[in-house]
Chains A and B, each alone.
Chain A
Amino acid sequence: MSRSGLQRGLVVLAGLGVAALACFEEPTSPAQCPAFCPGGGLASVESLLPTAIQRDSSFRGYVQAHQSLMLLASNLPGVDSRPIWVSNAIQTRFRIDSGSDTTTGPIVVDSMKLTLWVQRRDTAAVHNLRLAFYQLPVGIDSATTLADLAPAFAGTPLRVVNVDSLAALPGRRDSITGDTVLAVDSIRRNSVLLRLKFAASQAGYSEADSGKLALGVIATGDSPPSVGLGSSDAGFPATAWWFIHVDSAGKLIRPDSLPLKATDSLGAPPTFDSFVFDAPAVTLDSDLTVGSVPSIRSLLHVDLPRGLRDSTQIIRATLQLVPAGALVTTTDSVFLQVKRLQADFGAKSPVVLDTFVASSRPFRGAPSDTVRIEMTTIFRGWQADTTAVTAFYLTLLALSRVDSVHASGTEASTLAALRFYSSRSPAFRPSIRLTYVPRVKFGAP
């Protein structure tokens, strides 16, 4: 290569090198603030907003017992709750022949198997959990009370099952009674699906009722239990499976051997399920009340100062509630949840259906100290959307024992009812503790 060519190549290489170097930079410097840091940096400010909660009230009737996602079976001092349901009607007669002969024969029940989810049970506190099944009148509905069913529950139960003993058997199956634990939910801790066998004499089949069967459950244990059974609203209905033969002039025929093939079992999910209970009456007063069944919610409005909403970045917002006592206490694990409102229509305000909720830590009984709920995400949402309604419902939920990062629970799944002081009690009113970073003034050195 000639000398001029070499020079040319070096110069071109240098030019391209400079252009490539211009594409990046790493200007990080060691920091020792405030000497070598920009002025007007990030500062965190904590502020208690004692009057931020305003126009707070409690309202009743959001979730009824028959709408609950869990059927409560409690047998606690002062609190008695019993699940009830009515199964669907079944076909009680089948055609014997496929020809022009339309003669039908009645079904004969061999047995009934009931599949039932026990979704919430405290295996540590309550041993020998027993479920006693009682036959109830098929006319029960959402207006039925425990007192109405007292005569039915006073009789002899159709069956009594010891859930803990059954779950402890090898293979989780009782070869004598025919009871089985079909599944143990790996997500919902201690949740089991039972299949309980009722012999023909225990099944309570009634052709006059078209096979409808109404059942009620009383839970007992070595210590007072409070468990939750699956409900049809939650997608876990208690379903009766009728195993039958067909009577053809005194001869019992298997349904699958009839000319018009039929299965040998008929499924009957509930047409109605609920629970009846006896618990201390909960009345609303000037304090904030949550919990109970039908569920009670408190509606709280937040007056967030504009200066904080528009000119700061909130990094922590904590709702502080001072307990004013418990109206009903149970052994259920519960927590308080805050849900934003989509629009403010008072007691009938719709909630925003998303995952931006805030919850307290789970607890049992009545909280003895101030309850704190971290609402940072919700407050940040209000900063981002200044048209959003700055109000929320406060609800008491029964803790679902689900292995999840976030607490989940269901409303009207506990009879516990708590009170907190409202804004009408100046010394103990709800407050917001806000931590925020004021807007940085970038222009100043």
Chain B
Amino acid sequence: MTIRVAPVLALGLLVGAGLSPLAGQDSPFGINGLGTPGRFESARARATGGAFAAFDALSALTDASASGLGRLTASATGTTSYLSDDLGAVSGSRRSTRFPLFQIGGPAWSHVVLVAGVSTYLDRSYHVVVHDTVALGGSQQAVTDNLSGDGGVSDIRFAAARRFGHVVIGAGLHLLSGSSRFQFTRNFSDTSTYGDVTQAGEVAYRGMGFSGSAIVAAAPHLELAGFWRSDTRLSSEEDGKIVARHDLPTTLGGAIRWQPAPEATFGASLTHRGWASAADSNAYNTTTWSVGAEFGRRLPLRLGARGGELPFGPGGQAPRETAFAVGTGRVFAGGRGLIDVTVERLRRTGAGLTETGWTALFGVAVRP
């Protein structure tokens, strides 16, 4: 039965991917910056707050974790978010569905595991409606601006991992690519005097990055992971001309996973990203943490929490983010199909804006 269900889910996710841009969860904090950074975590790793992501073969946070792919595996993750924002007395709500992670990989030769995948690097989707007045012709004119962007930057990853005894080494090449379609419109209340304005454009993004990571089995039930990633510069091109260049961060992080009993696993991670050089004074270096646990094997219970800073936001201080997650998963057909479900409660604060919401994540993996 399960061998039939998994393709149905995969088909559902892939059909959806054709209708919606491959992008991550958006946030108002990223509008005035480069965007909202994506999370390279599968649904199962997200259920632990991301604490297990460094060791999770279905996640794209570290390359070394790919060694856990015992056979050819294709996986995808979908998210549906219901978010609400409160900015002073103004509130708004958003709903979006994204497919932030696709990946396929498996053993190649000599214990080397290869992985290729696409994940969200930066999401630049937003829609802002502004009611304002502008001084024109010696008087104040009421205007309504509709500012929208749709798209983002994707991370196309090619990675390899190999186990050397108690140590797993991984390395990856990252090609950053993508585009955003922007449309800004301005409607004047006085339509008899002023014409409406519509400006549209498409910006293509290009960049590159390298990553390396290692997982060490420090003790029979204790693993340590360290990872590093350096991305070059993000070039933004419009009509074939480079219109902007932004430095991209260097990432450093570490994680620990401890399994004191067969049905109990605990983990934690700490990550630092150097986003401050990416943009102007509204960009900040970020440090994020996560802790999580998994109990049970057949239908495990996963719990996690994460927190830290966001890289972009006004006010001279990095916005903060906190999230709690719970989830479970199921293996079907003798390990040939995996389904993971996670629900996350999110809260972001900064510069007077509070963003809260629920995110449902669905992960599916197929091992033919």
Residue of B nearest to A9 (CB): B5
Bound complex: CA A54 to CA B86 (Å): 55
The reply to whether B197 and A25 form a contact with Cβ atoms under 8 Å apart is: no
The reply to whether B94 and A29 form a contact with Cβ atoms under 8 Å apart is: yes
The reply to whether A30 and B92 form a contact with Cβ atoms under 8 Å apart is: yes
Q: Does any Cβ of B come within 8 Å of A14's Cβ?
A: yes
A18-B78 contact in complex given A37-B31, A42-B186, C-beta closer than 8 Å: yes
The reply to whether A38 and B203 form a contact with Cβ atoms under 8 Å apart is: no
Smallest Cβ distance from B358 to chain A, in angstroms? Answer: 13
Bound complex: CA A30 to CA B84 (Å): 9
Interface-forming stretch among B61-69, B127-135, B167-175, B253-261? Answer: B127-135
Q: Does any Cβ of A come within 8 Å of B224's Cβ?
A: no
Smallest Cβ distance from A19 to chain B, in angstroms? Answer: 4
The reply to whether A44 and B97 form a contact with Cβ atoms under 8 Å apart is: no
Interface-forming stretch among B7-15, B49-57, B157-165, B263-271? Answer: B7-15
Q: Does any Cβ of A come within 8 Å of B274's Cβ?
A: no
Residues of B within 8 A of A34 (CB): 32, 314
A437-B236 contact in complex given A11-B339, A38-B128, C-beta closer than 8 Å: no
Q: Does any Cβ of A come within 8 Å of B80's Cβ?
A: yes
The reply to whether A21 and B197 form a contact with Cβ atoms under 8 Å apart is: no
The reply to whether B199 and A440 form a contact with Cβ atoms under 8 Å apart is: yes
Most chain B C-beta atoms within 10 Å of own C-beta, residue among A27, A38, A46? A27
Q: Does any Cβ of B come within 8 Å of A401's Cβ?
A: no
Bound complex: CA A314 to CA B184 (Å): 15
Q: Does any Cβ of A come within 8 Å of B334's Cβ?
A: no
Residues of B within 8 A of A78 (CB): none
The reply to whether B184 and A41 form a contact with Cβ atoms under 8 Å apart is: yes
Bound complex: CA A44 to CA B199 (Å): 13
Q: Does any Cβ of B come within 8 Å of A355's Cβ?
A: no
Scan A76-98; emit 1 where CB is below 8 A from any B CB, else 0.
00000000000000000000000
Q: Does any Cβ of B come within 8 Å of A442's Cβ?
A: yes
Residues of A within 8 A of B145 (CB): 41-42
A4-B1 contact in complex given A18-B80, A29-B31, A41-B145, C-beta closer than 8 Å: yes
The reply to whether A23 and B16 form a contact with Cβ atoms under 8 Å apart is: yes
Smallest Cβ distance from A432 to chain B, in angstroms? Answer: 14
The reply to whether B128 and A376 form a contact with Cβ atoms under 8 Å apart is: no
Query: Contact check: which of B8, B16, B26, B91 meets A12 at CB < 8 Å?
Result: B8
Smallest Cβ distance from B170 to chain A, in angstroms? Answer: 30
Most chain B C-beta atoms within 10 Å of own C-beta, residue among A11, A33, A44, A316? A11
Query: Contact check: which of B12, B35, B238 meets A18 at CB < 8 Å?
Result: B12
Q: Does any Cβ of B come within 8 Å of A261's Cβ?
A: no
Q: Does any Cβ of B come within 8 Å of A39's Cβ?
A: yes
The reply to whether A15 and B11 form a contact with Cβ atoms under 8 Å apart is: yes
Interface-forming stretch among B108-116, B188-196, B208-216? Answer: B188-196
What does DSSP make chain B's interface, helix, strand, loop or mixed? strand
Residues of A within 8 A of B142 (CB): none
Bound complex: CA A374 to CA B186 (Å): 19
A15-B97 contact in complex given A39-B32, A380-B195, C-beta closer than 8 Å: no
Smallest Cβ distance from A225 to chain B, in angstroms? Answer: 34
Residues of A within 8 A of B132 (CB): 33
A27-B203 contact in complex given A19-B12, A380-B195, A444-B244, C-beta closer than 8 Å: no
Smallest Cβ distance from B273 to chain A, in angstroms? Answer: 17
Smallest Cβ distance from A377 to chain B, in angstroms? Answer: 8
Q: Does any Cβ of A come within 8 Å of B19's Cβ?
A: yes
Residues of A within 8 A of B16 (CB): 18-19, 21-23
Bound complex: CA A313 to CA B159 (Å): 47
CB contact list, A268-326 vs B, under 8 A: 313-316
CB contact list, A371-403 vs B, under 8 A: 374, 376-377, 380
Residues of A within 8 A of B226 (CB): none
Residue of B nearest to A441 (CB): B243
The reply to whether A15 and B147 form a contact with Cβ atoms under 8 Å apart is: no
The reply to whether B15 and A22 form a contact with Cβ atoms under 8 Å apart is: yes
Query: Contact check: which of B31, B314, B362 meets A14 at CB < 8 Å?
Result: B362
Scan A419-444; emit 1 where CB is below 8 A from any B CB, else 0.
00000000000000001010111111
How many A-B contacts are there with CB distance less than 8 Å? Answer: 207
The reply to whether B31 and A38 form a contact with Cβ atoms under 8 Å apart is: yes
Smallest Cβ distance from B179 to chain A, in angstroms? Answer: 11
CB contact list, B58-96 vs A, under 8 A: 78, 80, 85-88, 90-96
The reply to whether B130 and A16 form a contact with Cβ atoms under 8 Å apart is: no
Query: Contact check: which of A41, A313, A315, A435 meets B147 at CB < 8 Å?
Result: A41
The reply to whether A29 and B203 form a contact with Cβ atoms under 8 Å apart is: no
The reply to whether B184 and A440 form a contact with Cβ atoms under 8 Å apart is: yes
Residue of B nearest to A44 (CB): B134
Most chain A C-beta atoms within 10 Å of own C-beta, residue among B16, B148, B182, B353? B16
The reply to whether A36 and B128 form a contact with Cβ atoms under 8 Å apart is: yes
Bound complex: CA A208 to CA B55 (Å): 117
A25-B97 contact in complex given A36-B314, A37-B32, C-beta closer than 8 Å: yes
The reply to whether B32 and A26 form a contact with Cβ atoms under 8 Å apart is: no
Scan A41-84; emit 1 where CB is below 8 A from any B CB, else 0.
11010100000000000000000000000000000000000000
The reply to whether B193 and A27 form a contact with Cβ atoms under 8 Å apart is: no
Scan A195-232; emit 1 where CB is below 8 A from any B CB, else 0.
00000000000000000000000000000000000000
Q: Does any Cβ of B come within 8 Å of A28's Cβ?
A: yes
The reply to whether A12 and B31 form a contact with Cβ atoms under 8 Å apart is: no
The reply to whether A29 and B12 form a contact with Cβ atoms under 8 Å apart is: no
Residues of A within 8 A of B93 (CB): 26, 28
The reply to whether B194 and A435 form a contact with Cβ atoms under 8 Å apart is: yes
Smallest Cβ distance from B35 to chain A, in angstroms? Answer: 8
Residues of B within 8 A of A443 (CB): 203, 236-238, 243-244
Q: Does any Cβ of B come within 8 Å of A31's Cβ?
A: yes
Bound complex: CA A21 to CA B219 (Å): 45
15 additional contacts, CB 8 Å, given A25-B97, A29-B92, A33-B128? A12-B8, A18-B362, A21-B97, A22-B99, A29-B28, A29-B85, A30-B86, A30-B87, A31-B147, A36-B28, A36-B353, A38-B182, A46-B137, A441-B243, A444-B236
16 residue pairs of the A-B complex, CB under 8 angstroms, read A11-B339, A15-B8, A19-B15, A27-B127, A29-B85, A30-B86, A32-B353, A38-B128, A42-B145, A42-B199, A315-B186, A374-B193, A435-B136, A442-B202, A443-B238, A444-B243
